[in-house]
A and B are shown apart, each in its own frame.
Chain A
Amino acid sequence: MTETEPAKYRQVNTILVVDDDENWCFISKRLLRQANACDKIITAQNGLVALSALKDLAAQGGKMPAIILLDIKMPVLDGFGFLKALESETHLDLSETKVYICSSSLHPRDKQTAEDFAVAGFITKPLTKEMLTDILR
């Protein structure tokens, strides 16, 4: 796992990492960069910040992120709050965006709640190269 390792993944434009854990954001960013997974990585420390980041992106005429890695437990606006809020943001074109719920341990209750939303999958931290291969496939 060195910086010079060639990309084995399909590259995407933008990945948004939503997590209040600054160290986790650091790790994800580094892992995604090493894997050469995307052109741009945006991080947001909670759902609200993520929401405004998406709106900013749309206002600049940018494409929505291909992948969103979303934590559940966050202050201000948590993961599910963010997903709920997205539903009313109809002007954001998220048809090509895949949302992955990222958590260090998943409560069965959370998994059930997630079923109400269109999420592409669940990732139990830590994020590994194998999981990256999966979500970038």
Chain B
Amino acid sequence: MQDQLAERQQSALENKNTELKRINLDLDNFIYTASHDLRSPITNIEGLMVFLKDELTAADALNEDTEELLKRVVDSVDRFKRTIADLTEISRMQKGFTESAADDIINIQDVYDDIVADLAIPAGLKTCSIHTNLEVHQLKFSRKNFRSILFNMISNAVKFQHPDRGCMITLSTRLEEPYVVLSIKDNGMGVNESQQEQLFTMFKRFHDHVEGTGVGLYMVKRILENAGGKIEVTSTEGKGSEFKLYFKSAM
């Protein structure tokens, strides 16, 4: 009797698992196809706009008004392209989990230096002073994913700096068995409590003074959780935020 029940439960679980895998694959295919099919017309519009500008110039019809219209179409196209690129990135990330990205031994300082070297400060924002305090120097993790996580966290701290004071960021690591905790603390704009709940939702944005598509923190959370870690935030609106990233320590 007991055996039969267990067997039935096992089989139900297996069915559910197969179904979930299928749904995941469908979703992945859907995102890929959607992003591909959306890209084609947007690419065409991009090319046609170049021709249109040529034609307007040749016809001496390029003036302040027409130029502004052209610029706005081009801007909109760029924005559309960024969203598609993010969708593609998410689907790539999703696939990365099923194909289990190989773990590397990462030197955190190296990755940090590399990121800071090509960190662009958006127009109108101040350069930030970043202080590092690394108690843990190495981490076993997919290098590509770790870089993507750290890049997102640092560039967020830069982007959401407070307009009224100098931007200060502290990056620290420490061991909190069974995790390596990476903390990114800033004195930026911060978010209120109700926003904190939605901070990791896909396509959710709380500020519009800088460019963004709202997938960064979603991706960070997904990558961490899929690797057995987690992310926590404490933030006060107007004061700043601290993000704590928990990586399963394996060393």
Contacts and interface: CB of A to CB of B under 8 A. Distances in A.
B222 interface: no
B28 to A, nearest CB: 11
Given A1-B54, A2-B58, A30-B51, A107 B44 contact: no
B48 A73 contact: no
B221 interface: no
A107 B47 contact: no
Dominant secondary structure of chain B at its interface with chain A? helix
B43 A104 contact: yes
Interface in A1-21: 1-3, 21
The listed residue with most B CB atoms (<10 A of its CB), out of A2, A21, A104, A125, is A104
Interface residues of B, number: 17
B40 interface: yes
Interface in A65-109: 73, 103-105, 107
A27 B44 contact: yes
Interface string A20-40: 010110010011000000000
Interface in B30-67: 32, 35-36, 39-41, 43-44, 46-48, 50-51, 54, 57-58
A107 B54 contact: no
Contact of B47 (A2, A31, A73): A31
Given A1-B54, A2-B58, A27 B47 contact: yes
Given A2-B58, A21-B44, A126-B43, A105 B50 contact: no
Interface in A103-130: 103-105, 107, 125-127
Nearest to A128: B47
B138 interface: no
A101 B88 CA distance: 20
A104 B39 CA distance: 6
A21 B40 contact: yes
Contacts of A3: 54, 58
A104 B50 contact: no
A103 B37 CA distance: 10
B51 A105 contact: no
The listed residue with most A CB atoms (<10 A of its CB), out of B46, B47, B48, B57, is B47
Contact of B88 (A1, A105, A126): A105
B44 A23 contact: yes
B35 A105 contact: yes
Interface of A: 1-3, 21, 23-24, 27, 30-31, 73, 103-105, 107, 125-127
15 contacts: A1-B50, A2-B57, A2-B58, A3-B58, A21-B40, A24-B44, A27-B44, A31-B47, A103-B36, A104-B40, A104-B43, A107-B36, A125-B39, A126-B43, A126-B47
